[in-house]
């Protein structure tokens, strides 16, 4: 798993970023991801079903996430649902993306500290 391979994924597509971010806190099924993203972004980002599963398919093919074989407790489990989790590569890509975004944000911060007026408050 080389650094170049990780960097090859950056910058992440918005949907990909959100899906990976949702899985960062643990395994999740598709509908769960959808809800998680919706809550986290206060309703601003909605992953529509076809887009969501299309993205999940690509993420699996890219080996950033994988299907999890661990199931939740039987009483909560729905047999139709598949759970997904980050792979090691997925985690590294997410980290790298976060780092990249962090740098962007601190660049904005620097500007603001120098007294430049930016629209964002």
d(CA 9, CA 94): 10
User: With binding defined as CB under 8 A, does residue 88 bind other proteins?
Assistant: no
In the list 8, 26, 49, 72, the residue contacting other proteins (rule: CB under 8 A) is 49
- Return the range that interacts with other proteins (CB under 8 A); candidates 3-11, 14-22, 25-33, 95-103: 25-33
Helices marked H in the chain — which ranges?
3-8, 14-24, 30-40, 49-61, 88-113
Q: Which is nearer to other proteins, 39 or 109 (CB)?
A: 39
Q: What are the two backbone dihedrals, phi and then psi, of residue 84, each rounded to the nearest 5 degrees?
A: -120, 150
User: With binding defined as CB under 8 A, does residue 71 bind other proteins?
Assistant: no
Q: Kindly report the CA angle at 8 between 6 and 11, in degrees rounded to 5?
A: 95
User: With binding defined as CB under 8 A, does residue 8 bind other proteins?
Assistant: no
Asked whether the beta carbons of 15 and 55 are under 8 A apart, the reply is yes
Q: Which two tokens stand for residue 84?
A: 């997904």
User: With binding defined as CB under 8 A, does residue 64 bind other proteins?
Assistant: no
Site size with other proteins, rule: CB under 8 A: 18
| Binding stretches for other proteins (CB under 8 A) | 29-31, 34, 43, 48-54, 56-57, 78, 80-82
């Amino acid at each position: 798993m080389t650094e170049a391979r990780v960097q090859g994924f950056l910058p992440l597509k918005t949907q990909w970023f959100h899906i990976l971010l949702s899985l960062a806190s643990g395994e999740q099924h598709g509908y769960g991801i959808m809800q998680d993203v919706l809550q986290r972004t206060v309703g601003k980002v909605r992953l529509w079903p076809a887009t969501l599963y299309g993205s999940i398919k690509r993420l699996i093919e890219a080996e950033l996430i994988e299907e999890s074989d661990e199931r939740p407790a039987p009483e909560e489990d729905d047999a139709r649902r598949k759970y997904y989790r980050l792979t090691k590569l997925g985690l590294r890509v997410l980290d790298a993306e976060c780092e990249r975004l962090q740098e962007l944000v601190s660049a904005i911060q620097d500007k603001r500290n120098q007294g430049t007026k930016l629209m964002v408050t």
